[in-house]
Amino acid sequence: MRQRRRLPRALALLAVGALSSTLGVTASSAAPSGPAAPAAPAAPAAPAAPAGPTAAESAAQVQATQVSEITYGPYTAPAAPDNPNGTHGHAHTGNLFQFGIRKPCNDCYITSMTADLVYPDGRRAGWSTNAQLHHMVLFNSEWGKVDPTCYIGLPFPLGLLFGQRFFASGDERTVIDMPAGYGYKVGGGGFNMIYELANMQNTPQNVLIKMKYEWVPATTPGIKNVEPIWFDVAQCGFSTVSVPQGQSEKTWSWWVNRPGDIVAIGGHIHDGGKNIEIRNDSTGQMICNSVAGYGESPLYMDHHGEGHISSMSKCHATGGNAAMRVANNQIVTIRAKYDMPAAVADQMGIVMAFVAQ
């Protein structure tokens, strides 16, 4: 049975007394610069690079690829309040969650995922229509799918509550796709979702979250599984942080517990965010620099003519790129950079990485 509920802050009580350290993480920071990452041990030998698919295997994957488009909802974004000067502000649903949402497949590998926000008649919703996909997250509750960075943690043991985080999107709606020969393995477990929507007009709006999945059957030859890694400057919480006016940054570090090759990686920040750097502190190498784009299509222009965040760049690699290879106990840090016109309390700094082991 599908259930949709508001995510109460009282859930933090569930985590009191739980193990305070998460699996494979260092403490996150709310300070503009964050604390220095813990002293890294001598860099261990990197794992061997997995071999890429053969030409025949790549052709078989293309032939086997199927596309599933699934809409979730409809959901109501509440009316925005009127301001004394005659304008109106933003109204948010807050974090809501839904259990047992429809999956694209069982016993398969997902090779590409994209989120969108649409109206019941199929039109896209966005800043130009006074609507916003603030964020959404998909979880896999399948047995054995352990969240590497927040299985047991504070304030929320997200892995225990909802499952392994394997996809996220903000209003920029970045396509999460894997190089040929790689995919996220899905078995018979359930999917759950957390989402938040926003409305910038003074009447409610009904919208749907639309997911496009590309996938291949698990029997497709040459496909290797990837492990999703969730980096977050507010790990194990609501993912929101306060940032001041002007330039600032937030950091968070992962003590590697899923070694292998990062084959796909990209970030998510809100308006006022510039970029997120992902660096292997143990080797000194830059893994990726995910950069924000603004107002790149009419959907992201509001009725004042202001452009909003519309893309985040991403990085891909296959076996052999040493900069994107991580080994056990190395330290990988994300550094989210902002240049805010005004202080806010709901900025984000998130990175999704997919590691082939």
Mean pLDDT of 9-26: 35
Alpha-carbon gap, residue 82 to 350, rounded angstroms: 32
Alpha-carbon gap, residue 326 to 260, rounded angstroms: 5
Pairing between strand 182-186 and 224-232?
parallel
Burial of 79 (0-12, 13-18, 19+ CB in 10 A): middle
* Residue 22: predicted pLDDT: 34
Please report, for residues 90, 235, 330, the alpha-carbon distance to residue 248 in angstroms, rounded to integers and kept in the order given.
Answer: 24, 19, 26
* Residue 13: predicted pLDDT: 30
Looking at the predicted structure, is the pLDDT value of residue 15 above 50? Answer: no
Mean pLDDT of 316-325: 79
Q: What angle do CA 137, 141, 146 make, to 5 degrees?
A: 90
Q: Residue 15: what residue type?
A: A
- What band does 31 get if pLDDT is binned at 50, 70 and 90? very low
pLDDT tens track for 150-169: 977 666 777 778 899 999 99
- Can the peptide bond before residue 155 be classed as cis, meaning omega within 30 degrees of 0? yes
Contacts (Cβ under 8 Å, ≥6 apart) of 198: 77, 90, 91, 92, 93, 131, 132, 134
* Residue 27: predicted pLDDT: 36
Alpha-carbon gap, residue 34 to 253, rounded angstroms: 10
* Residue 320: predicted pLDDT: 64
Q: Residue 322: what residue type?
A: A
Weakest-pLDDT range from 60-69, 139-148, 318-327? 318-327
- Can the peptide bond before residue 74 be classed as cis, meaning omega within 30 degrees of 0? yes
Mean pLDDT of 195-222: 96
Q: pTM here?
A: 0.84
Mean pLDDT of 50-75: 85
Contacts (Cβ under 8 Å, ≥6 apart) of 121: none
The tokens describing 34, both together, are 């964050």
